[in-house]
A and B are shown apart, each in its own frame.
Chain A
Amino acid sequence: MIVSTTPNKRAALLEEIRKLPAFFRRDLLVTWSYKLQFFTDWINLIGQVVVFYFVSGLVNPETMPSYGGTQASYLQFVTIGIAVTSFLQVSLARVTAAIRNEQLQGTLETLLLTPTAPATFQLGSAMYEIAYVPLRVILFLGFASFLPGVSYTIQGLPEAVAVLVVFVPFVWGLGVISAAATLTYRRGTSFVGAGASALTISSGAYFPVAVFSKYPFLKFLAALNPMTYALYAIRNALLGGAGWGPTLIAIAILLPVAAATLAAGVWAFRLALRREQRRGSLGLY
Chain B
Amino acid sequence: MRARVPGPVVTSATEAGDAPAVTSAPPPVELVNVARRFKETVALDGVSLRIDAGSIHALLGPNGAGKTTLIRVMTGLVEPDAGEVRLMGIRLSGVTSREIRRLFGYVPSGDRTFYLRISATENLVFFGRLYGLSRRRALVRAAEVLEAVELTDAAMLPVGVFSHGMQKRLSLARALLLDPPILFVDEATHDLDPEASARARELVAGAVRVGAAVVWATQRVDEIRGFADRVTLIDRGVVRFEGTVPELMGTSAARRFLLHIARQPGGGSVIERVTDLLGPSASVLPAGDEGGEGEHLLIVLEGDVALGDAIAVLANDGIKVVACREERSEIEQAFLKLTGAG
Contacts and interface: CB of A to CB of B under 8 A. Distances in A.
A270 B95 CA distance: 9
Interface stretch (B101-109, B252-260, B261-269, B326-334): B101-109
B115 A274 contact: no
Interface stretch (B86-94, B193-201, B280-288): B86-94
A9 to B, nearest CB: 12
B106 A277 contact: no
Contacts of B63: none
B11 to A, nearest CB: 19
Interface stretch (B46-54, B129-137, B292-300): B129-137
A165 to B, nearest CB: 26
A6 B98 contact: yes
B129 A19 contact: yes
A58 interface: no
Interface string A1-34: 1111110000010010011011001100110011
Contacts of A25: 122, 126
A163 B75 CA distance: 43
Contacts of B116: 105
A115 B102 contact: yes
Contact of A5 (B36, B78, B91, B98): B98
B78 A113 contact: no
Given A2-B90, A3-B91, A277-B77, A110 B126 contact: no
B93 to A, nearest CB: 5
B114 interface: yes
B77 A26 contact: no
A81 B121 CA distance: 42
Given A30-B117, A33-B117, A274-B95, A22 B78 contact: no
Nearest to A120: B130
A6 B101 CA distance: 12
A157 to B, nearest CB: 33
B72 interface: yes
B118 A273 contact: no
Given A3-B90, A22-B135, 17 more contacts: A1-B93, A3-B91, A22-B129, A22-B130, A25-B122, A29-B117, A29-B118, A109-B108, A113-B101, A114-B127, A114-B131, A115-B98, A115-B131, A274-B94, A280-B38, A280-B78, A282-B78
Interface of A: 1-6, 12, 15, 18-19, 21-22, 25-26, 29-30, 33-34, 105-107, 109-117, 270, 273-274, 277-278, 280, 282-283
Interface of B: 36, 38, 69, 72, 75-79, 90-91, 93-102, 106, 108, 110-118, 122, 125-127, 129-132, 134-135, 158, 174
The 9 residue pairs across chains A and B that have the minimum distance between CB atoms: A22-B129, A106-B112, A280-B78, A115-B98, A114-B130, A3-B97, A33-B117, A115-B101, A29-B118
